[in-house]
Chain A
Amino acid sequence: MEKDINIIGFLCNWCSYAGADLTGLNRIIYPTNIKIVRIPCTGRMDPVLIMEAFHNGADGVLVSGCHPGDCHYTEGNYYWRRRHAVLKRLLEFLGIDERRFQATWVSASEGKRFAEVVKKVVDDVRSWKKNE
């Protein structure tokens, strides 16, 4: 059987990780393809870490943090937003399909939204893999 897709999710501790916890609390089912790594803040996301994930064979990467303006550390997610914009173009240049690298904002109260985000990312990465 073909190996199922494998997605690594970097979630900030204060919003998205808590949001993902809320998804659990509300028992909203989503695909198992995502494995979550807790980070303190999306501002901690060194682009090298994402390159490393693709380098090691991850099918997709999701980074999710607090909504702009809501960062626990005031402005960490703004740093991430700028890094993300640059990294996205770099990955495009390297030939990594844009569906494989996604960034979003999920707050601690958006449990339902987190499940939707995961479903979408899994669908996107699947559709990429199919055409591969």
Chain B
Amino acid sequence: MSKTGVFICHCGSNIAGVVAVEKVVESAKTLPGVKVAMDYKYMCSDPGQNLIINTIKEQALDRVVVGSCSPRMHENTFRMTIERAGLNPYRLEIANLREHVSWVHSEKASATDKAIKLVELAVAKVRRNEPLQKIYAEIEKRALVIGGGIAGIQAALDIAANGYKVTLVEREPSIGGRMSQLDKTFPTMDCSACILTPKMVAVAQNKDITLLTYAEVEQVHGYVGNFEVNINKKARFVSMTKCIGCGVCTEKCPSKKRLSEFNANIATRKAIYTPFPQAVPNIPVIDKDSCMYFATGKCKVCEKVCPAGAVDYTQEDEIITEKFGAIVVATGYDLYDHSSYGEYGYGEIPDVITGLQLERMINSGGPTGGHIKRPSDGKEPETVVFIQCVGSRDDAKGKPYCSRVCCMYTAKQALLLREHYPNSKAIVFYMDIRAAGKGYEEFIQRVQTEYGVLYLRGRVSRIYEKKDHLLVKGVDTLSGNQVEIKADMVVLATGLKPKKEAQNLAQLLHIGYDQNGFYTELHPKLAPVETQIAGVYLAGCCQSPKDIPDTVAQSSATAAKVGALLSKERLEIEPMISEVNPLLCSGCRMCYNACPYGAIEMEDTEIRRGEIRCVAKVLVSVCKGCGVCVAGCYCKAIDLKGWTDRQLMEQIKVISYC
């Protein structure tokens, strides 16, 4: 007979306020196999845990049931508790008396009855709990960082500083990301390039960092500590080793000019190009789609002018496979496409531009040399209207969330406009000003008072395109008046959304994403950089919109987590995984075909002396314990440890006989 101890927690008044704890204890004492039952005010506290430990020792218990909060909260805590008392940590079951009883039921008598039942349920299950042994695996002491924006750069540098090898994969020809497109950064107005480019160079020069630009992650196999990743190095058609970065090829390229992605489509680029002069690496790529040679078979101008003989039209995509212990996802964001806003002209009015386009104009390295000019006629704008929350906080557009940076970047751009053209007028339409950051509120105040930017609280109902100006109609909700503004240019503060391909990558990595497409962290408060897949971490805007300081902080946090993982000698793996009984296995391959992880192998095994059959075998370090194989097995030869058929059957019996 098993010797089970039942410990019921009051959780202050959280449980005891609704559930008659003493009745639960009394009833637990009568259950088969229960040797002792007791209650305590806070079971998870130090004295509470000691109570459990001492009782286990005094009464020589071999199994424990704790009636407390959700197992998702404290299962691990109590596993460690009973381990300290010398029990196998897996001989524990939790009855969820808080989230599933006292917090969701108000009627005391029936809530108590349910609590009694849930404890009985846990006792029935624990009776069948087998001691499980932890499994250990080796760790590949290298990290992969996906995305070379400021988040990925910071994470890579920090991981390398911890002494581990890092591979940084970036899909664009250069690292730098969104931050390299910006002019100044709020609220301190330091020049974005001045603080970013040294970090980009540091990445390139760090001997522990392997930089793979113009490359994409194609496939991910394996598990924490042992990921196997296929990376596609897209053909650059320029030799990385021969190119000297002189730029003659770009200069001479005769191809039709394409809109420059880096310049937010307000300028053009050639078919052979580097996104921007400070690119790292400073080696151009040929965009096959706009190259004349690839279209017509004629041209080859770049090959002719290259002094280093670096152009190579025969290059092909190359897929490399590497092993990593940890993966950091730092894929960043895209900007909301405002062409869905009919009231702002469906993105078709030339003088209605986005914040990023204005950013490229203000940037002295940008296509207008740092001058703000209207796209329609190149004139300096006098009155500029800024509209915030375009594609943010707008349920009608399916974007209910706040993009967090638009209030601040609008204020920054209004300031820069006023600084650049002192005679100009800047008017901002806002819903709320969200300036919660160090020095942010002061910055907004400064923009309003010192720079005379007019803030109107309200929305714009329509932008009318007149002959030589725009007529902006809106409402100022503070005065209650409708307003009409004759503007030269309108700047839309478009919000942030996840990268278009973010969901594909999530599928490759098996990580989750929320209804808005942002990757889900393991816990919103207590595990903000981990994901539900062990060994995969998040940094930057792929998790949620955030500004540069928060991104950098999160990246360093991620690097710390990666360091903690890689510094371990070996890895503990949850032992609640599948197990095959070869005697019962018929070798039908049902489980082999069903397993989503490829964790089942079919192997010739000596079942009895002299009898060799091909039966299923579980690869312990690959199995994740989902149980798909168990439910599919015809001969009940495979079972899931910790969730065995017998355990579930016992529980079903207990409930069904209510």
| Interfacial residues, chain A to chain B (CB-CB below 8 A) | 3, 6, 8, 13-14, 17-18, 20-21, 23-25, 27-30, 32, 35-41, 43-49, 52-53, 55-58, 70, 72-76, 79-80, 83, 109, 115
Q: Is B72 an interface residue (CB 8 A)?
A: yes
Residues of A within 8 A of B649 (CB): 49, 52
Q: Which 9 A-B pairs have the closest CB atoms?
A: A44-B627, A24-B99, A56-B656, A73-B626, A24-B103, A43-B628, A6-B658, A46-B631, A58-B656
Query: 17 A-B pairs, CB-CB below 8 angstroms?
Result: A14-B532, A25-B99, A25-B103, A29-B105, A32-B101, A32-B107, A35-B114, A40-B626, A43-B628, A44-B628, A44-B643, A49-B648, A52-B649, A52-B652, A58-B655, A73-B596, A115-B104
Q: How far is the CA of A63 from the CA of B244 in the complex (A)?
A: 63
Complex CA distance for A53 and B648, rounded to whole angstroms: 10
CB-CB nearest in chain B for A35: B655
Selected contact of B628 from candidates A14, A55, A73, CB within 8 Å:
A73
**In the complex, are the beta carbons of B626 and A43 less than 8 A apart?**
yes
Q: Report the separation of the CA atoms of residues A79 and B71 in the bound assembly, to the nearest whole angstrom.
A: 26
Distance between A85 CB and nearest chain B CB, rounded to angstroms: 14
- The distance in angstroms between the C-alpha atoms of A118 and B462, with both chains bound, is 46
Known: A17-B72, A73-B628. 11 other contacts (CB 8 A): A18-B72, A24-B103, A24-B104, A32-B113, A35-B118, A35-B658, A39-B648, A40-B625, A41-B628, A44-B630, A52-B656
- Answer whether A76 and B656 are a contact pair too, CB < 8 Å, given A49-B648, A49-B649: no
Number of A-B contacts (CB under 8 A): 138
Considering the chains assembled together, what is the distance between the CA atoms of A64 and B22 in angstroms?
32
In the assembled complex, which residues on chain B have CB atoms less than 8 Å from the CB atom of A57?
656-657
| Given contact pairs A37-B121, A37-B655, A115-B104, A45 touches B631 in the complex (Cβ within 8 A) | yes
Assess the A109–B655 pair: CB atoms within 8 A. Answer: no
- Which residues in B have their C-beta under 8 angstroms from that of A47? 631
Residue of B with least CB distance to A5: B658
Kindly list chain B residues whose C-beta atoms are within 8 Å of the C-beta of A55.
Answer: 656
Contact of B96 with A by CB under 8 A: yes
Interchain CB contact under 8 A, A49 and B514: no
Question: Is B111 interfacial (CB 8 A cutoff)?
Answer: yes
- Beyond A17-B72, A27-B104, A43-B626, whether A37 also contacts B110 by CB under 8 A is no
B512 within 8 A of A: yes
Q: How far, in angstroms, from A28 to B632 measured CA to CA in the complex?
A: 36
State which of A35, A37, A41 has its C-beta within 8 Å of the C-beta of B648.
A37
CB of B111 within 8 A of CB of A72, answer no
By a CB distance below 8 angstroms, the chain B residues around A80 are: 631
Whether a CB of chain A sits under 8 angstroms from the CB of B106 is: yes
Which among B71, B512, B632, B658 has the highest number of chain A CB atoms within 10 Å? B658
Tell me, rounded to whole Å, the shortest Cβ–Cβ distance linking B581 to chain A. Answer: 16
Interface of A is mostly: mixed
Do residues B111 and A32 form an inter-chain contact, with CB atoms below 8 A?
Answer: yes
**Across the interface, which residues of B come within 8 angstroms of A45, CB to CB?**
631
A21 and B103 alpha carbons, distance in the complex (Å): 9
B103 x A40 contact (CB < 8 A): no
- Specify the chain B residue showing the minimal Cβ separation from A39: B643
A39, B70: Cβ atoms closer than 8 Å: no
Asked, given contacts A6-B658, A38-B71, whether A76 binds B651 with beta carbons under 8 Å apart, the answer is: no
- Bound Cα distance from A80 to B627, whole angstroms: 11
Q: Is B303 an interface residue (CB 8 A)?
A: no
Q: Which residues of B have CB within 8 Å of A53?
A: 652, 655-656
Residue B624 at the chain A interface, CB threshold 8 Å? yes
Q: Please measure, in the bound complex, the distance between the C-alpha atom of A6 and the C-alpha atom of B655, giving whole angstroms.
A: 8
| A46 and B645 contact, CB distance less than 8 A | yes
Q: Taking the complex as formed, is B576 at the interface, i.e. its CB lies under 8 A from any CB of chain A?
A: yes
* Residues in chain A near residue B106, CB distance under 8 A: 29
Q: Distance in Å from the Cβ of A57 to the closest Cβ of chain B?
A: 5
For A39, what are the chain B residues with a Cβ–Cβ distance below 8 Å? 627, 643, 648
Check A41 against B627 for contact (C-beta < 8 Å). yes
- Chain A residue with minimal CB distance to B111? A32
Residues on A with beta carbons closer than 8 Å to the beta carbon of B576: 40
Q: Which B residues lie within 8 Å of A46 (CB)?
A: 630-631, 645
The complex places the Cα of A89 from the Cα of B647 at a distance, in Å, of 27
From 111 to 136 in chain B, residues with beta carbon under 8 angstroms from any chain A beta carbon are 111, 113-114, 117-118, 121
Q: Assess A35 versus B596: contact at CB under 8 Å? Given A44-B640, A74-B510.
A: no
Query: Which residues of A are found within 8 Å of B652, using beta-carbon distances?
Result: 8, 37, 49, 52-53, 56, 58
Question: A55's closest neighbor in chain B, by CB?
Answer: B656
8 Å CB contact of A32 from B110, B121, B645: B110
Chain B residues lying within 8 Å of A52, measured Cβ to Cβ, are: 649, 652-653, 656
Whether A43 touches B627, Cβ cut-off 8 Å, given contacts A49-B648, A74-B596, A76-B596, is: yes
Give the chain B neighbours of A56 by CB distance below 8 A. Answer: 652-653, 656-657
Instruction: Please give the distance in Å from A101's CB to the nearest CB on chain B.
Output: 14
Q: Does B594 contact A (CB under 8 A)?
A: yes
Is B233's CB within 8 Å of the partner chain A?
Answer: no
List the B residue with the shortest CB-CB distance to A11: B100
